[in-house]
Amino acid sequence: MKKFLAVLFSFVLVLSLVPSLYSAEASKKMDYYSVLFSSESIPADFNKNLKDIGGEIAYSVPEIGFVQVKAPETAFSKLKGLKGVSAANPSISWSLPEAERIQESVVNTEDAAYWGLQWDIQRITNNGESYKLSTGSHDVVVGIIDTGIDRDHPDLVGNLQPGSENFVPPGGFQGTEEKESGEPDAFDDRHGHGSHVAGSIAGNGAMLGVAPDTGIRAYRVFGTSSAESAWIYKAMIAAADDGVDVISMSLGGFDVIGQVFHVDPETGVKTRLGNDVADFKAYKRVMNYVTKKGSLVVAAAGNDAINATNKREVTDFLNANYGEDGFYFVGAGFEVPGTIPGVVTVSATGPEDVLASYSNYGPGFIDIAAVGGDMRSYVQYQLEGKFEEYLANRLFETEFNISASKDGGHYWSLGTSMATPKVSAVAALLVDKYGKMSPAKLEDLLYKKAVDPVKGKEKSIFGNGHLDAFDSLN
């Protein structure tokens, strides 16, 4: 269906979202669909019935009664009518950003050489004072659902726990990635995003994370291009089954509950694409599953600079961004997983504790704010044609965040992706200090102990307040 509905929430330059367009040949090829069953299991006769209409199962998540299938577009109406099917929609795919990075070289990992540049971690740890109270332990594990991890990175290897896993199937995204083996042990980071996130949680070397002795485990759901919702659901379930205390998700996107249409720019043919009810309900089932297992989910709010509580604004945003490609939306748009009950949704702030220029916000949507970097100077210098000066004077050091890369080095980035893992790290520190607890109790403790609180209108952009690791440990 639509490749634009979810992206990894970080900026290494500017996010590039590319929709998957329908062509006149669409009816002749196999398309991908999300299917949610009435019960949280897969009916015994579904596979046979699916084959009868020319389809096959591409990926299954039996724990919540969800499958992704391949079938001809002409079979979609029959698919929705199969026995046991509660909802079905063309599959939502998740796109990686085009990555232009501000890179650093490998340095000596024994002296935290980058600490002087880590203004973001300094802000959250009160200039490192929280480290005197706790740096976490391997008794607590944060599961990172992302692009994988550099398993040999000197800043990460000491805290990487056994059990990291790959959920990208053979052939990768819809069979377009030949190098994807589908092997469970193939969790190496091919993008860099997951390693950067891991460094913010538990980096311990040239750079330091918020909880530099906390256990981490990687669940890879991205290759080098895109991912499917089913892979993410499966990874969340696996992380919960593994007993991770916190699931950190620096990703997200939008579901439309209404109608999505596409008008072919050449023929003018209008195609009704349905809505995202199956995926939206599936997310709720996954959240119910992982919560019962005892894992707290922390997720990014997104980098679209919109009020995600305002469903009309979300829908208008989608129409404005994808109208040129022939898509238009009717109904309510929801950011996911941030709007799903039980998720701790994180907005991003810059150097001055103000909302980052790109961060999404909204009353009842944002739960907590954390430093993720800003790009005001970055944009200003670009607009003024002075970007080379920006780079030469290393002004990115004042507003970007530095962390680990996929190749043993480091790079600068920013986004709600960079804010989210810091909240995950502080949640882990609370578990280490106070012991295992339910996700609801951990969430409550996070808001009571781990924030510099805010009031009034500020709650719509900062939620319960600004993340503070030092306060959480006092």
Beta strands in 174-235 (DSSP E): 215-220, 226-228
Q: Are 214 and 131 in contact (CB under 8 A)?
A: no
Which amino acid is it at 102?
I
Left (φ > 0), alpha (ψ -120 to 50) or beta: where does 268 sit? left
Catalytic hit among 31, 120, 146, 304? 146
Q: Per DSSP, what are the bridge partners of residue 333?
A: 256
The CA–CA distances, whole Å, from 192 to 139, 166, 199, 235, 473 equal 26, 15, 11, 19, 31
Q: How many residues does the chain have?
A: 474
Q: Could you tell me which residues come within 8 angstroms of residue 11 by beta carbon, excluding any fewer than 6 positions away?
A: 97, 303, 358, 375, 413, 414, 415
Element (H, E) at 279: helix 277-293
Catalytic hit among 153, 193, 262, 466? 193
Beta strands in 47-175 (DSSP E): 56-61, 66-72, 85-90, 92-95, 102-104, 141-146, 165-166
Catalytic hit among 295, 403, 405, 417? 417
- Give the orientation angle of helix 277-293 with respect to helix 229-241, to 10 degrees: 10
Q: Per DSSP, what are the bridge partners of residue 347?
A: 369
Left (φ > 0), alpha (ψ -120 to 50) or beta: where does 4 sit? alpha
Question: Which runs of consecutive H residues, i.e. helices, occur in 149-222?
Answer: 193-202
Let me know if 417 is a catalytic residue.
Answer: yes
Let me know if 407 is a catalytic residue.
Answer: no
Residue keyed to tokens 């990075």:
101
Active site residue ranges: 146, 193, 417
